[in-house]
Amino acid sequence: MSRSQGAAAAALRREPSPPGDEGREFEFSDADFRALAKLAYEHAGISLGEGKRNLVYTRISRRLRTLGLATFQDYRAFLSQDRKEIENFINSISTNLTRFFRESHHFDHLREHIAAKFISRPLAARRLRIWSAGCSTGEEPYTIAAVLQREIRDVARYDVRILATDIDTEVLRKASAGEYGVNSLEEIPNIYREFFPVARDDSGKGQIFIDEATKELIAFRRLNLMDPWPFQGLFDAIFCRNVMIYFDGPTKENLIERFTNQVKPGGFLYIGHSESLLGRHDGLQLVGRTIYRREA
Ligand SMILES: C[S@@+](CC[C@H](N)C(=O)[O-])C[C@H]1O[C@@H](n2cnc3c(N)ncnc32)[C@H](O)[C@@H]1O
């Protein structure tokens, strides 16, 4: 090999493999993709179309490296033998992007229509149940908690609970820890900063540490939305935002019907910005941007 050919070969080795290129670290056949997409659908309702091929390759390649496996076929065999790997597989496949006060108009609505009205209720009726379904790393339920704490100053005195669930055990671990980089403060309006205390170490590096009083308002649980739900009562509000985008039409339809039945008459369902139900759905009335009220 000439010197220039050698340099070109070395440059190629340094370059990341472009998507769809044979130079990929692992061979990834149609059958591999189809088998993994089928598993994601069967276990989590997550619908992975052709456009997600590279996503699956990239995320599952990490599992292959961690497990020291040489091929996707080996990984598929491992998945069928070790049922615990399904959990890691789903954790790897799920997309967990979130932030504090995401789609902030939902929290203005929560403050005005639920939190502010709470105090005027008779003492015996001061009970509130809110569900953050698909809570990811916790920013959504902690935002809900901050809104309730600011509006209902002595909230701990009342029967107020936020249930925060996700299928991904890894994000739930982070959510329960309640520790976030200080950069996340930028997402939080000034009036709510008091609920996101920052501690700094000797070098001045800061971290948000959610306090115990806030954590006590929230129960983090693993729940696959595709499974039967273990609830006895209904919720005053359900947040299921930016979760249904990963599901296909029939799965989404079914879920919306279940959410409708799980929210109290007069209660609210908040969905993500790209998840409009086209203005109406049986039993639900559109009352704001991506906000639905269950008919009383
Ligand atoms: C993009 S995050 C949305 C987080 C937050 N709700 C928000 O809007 O910022 C989607 C979350 O849905 C969860 N998810 C996906 N499929 C699920 C299922 N079948 N059951 C429960 N959670 C699921 C994922 O693990 C992920 O954390």
Q: Output the pLDDT for position 22.
A: 63
Is the same domain home to 39 and 155? no
**Ligand 1 atom index nearest CA of 168:** 25
Q: Output the pLDDT for position 56.
A: 98
CA distances to 7, 36, 56, 79, 196 from 50, rounded to whole Å, are 36, 12, 10, 22, 41
Is the same domain home to 120 and 246? yes
Is the same domain home to 74 and 111? no
Given 44, 69, 93, the domain boundary residue is 93
CATH of the domain at 253: 3.40.50.150
Catalytic site includes residue 59: yes
CA nearest to 194, candidates 203, 202, 185:
185
Given 41, 63, 93, the domain boundary residue is 93
**Alpha carbon distance 41, 38 (integer Å):** 5
Beta bridge partners of 235: 263
Q: How does pLDDT run across 238-272, given as a tens digit for each residue?
A: 999 999 999 999 999 999 999 999 999 999 999 99
Is the same domain home to 139 and 224? yes
Given 93, 128, 144, the domain boundary residue is 93
> Has residue 239 been placed in a domain?
yes
Task: Give the count of beta carbons closer than 10 Å to the beta carbon of residue 187.
Answer: 17
> Has residue 198 been placed in a domain?
no
Of 32, 166, 168, 236, the active-site residue reads 166
Contact predicate 278/289, CB 8 Å: no
Whole-model pTM? 0.91
Could you tell me the distance, in angstroms and rounded to a whole number, from the CA of residue 11 to the centre of ligand 1? 39
Q: Which residues contact 254 (CB under 8 A, 6 or more apart)?
A: none
> Has residue 185 been placed in a domain?
no
Is the same domain home to 42 and 121? no
> Has residue 204 been placed in a domain?
no
Q: Which long-range contacts (CB under 8 A, 24 or more apart) does 121-126 make?
A: 126/158, 126/159, 126/160
Is the same domain home to 110 and 71? no
Classify burial at 253, counting beta carbons within 10 Å of its beta carbon; exposed 0-12, middle 13-18, buried 19 or more: middle
**Alpha carbon distance 215, 162 (integer Å):** 10
Is there an atom of ligand 1 within 6 Å of 44 CB? yes
Q: How many domains does the chain have?
A: 2
Give the ranges where 45-97 is alpha helix by DSSP (H): 53-67, 72-81, 85-93
User: Sorting pLDDT into bands at 50, 70 and 90, what band is 230?
Assistant: very high
> What is the pLDDT averaged over residues 91-102?
98
Looking at per-residue confidence, does 6 or 109 come out higher? Answer: 109
> What is the pLDDT averaged over residues 146-168?
97
Is there an atom of ligand 1 within 6 Å of 98 CB? yes
Q: How does pLDDT run across 15-73, given as a tens digit for each residue?
A: 344 455 567 899 999 999 999 999 999 999 999 999 999 999 999 999 999 999 999 99
Is the same domain home to 165 and 232? yes
Q: Which domain holds residue 52?
A: 3-93
Could you tell me the distance, in angstroms and rounded to a whole number, from the CA of residue 137 to the centre of ligand 1? 9
Q: Which residues contact 214 (CB under 8 A, 6 or more apart)?
A: 142, 145, 146, 149, 178, 195
**Ligand 1 atom index nearest CA of 223:** 21
As a dihedral over the C-alpha atoms of residue 52, residue 58, residue 64, residue 66, rounded to 10 degrees, the angle is -130
Is the same domain home to 149 and 219? yes
Beta bridge partners of 232: none
**Alpha carbon distance 103, 137 (integer Å):** 16
Is the same domain home to 30 and 168? no
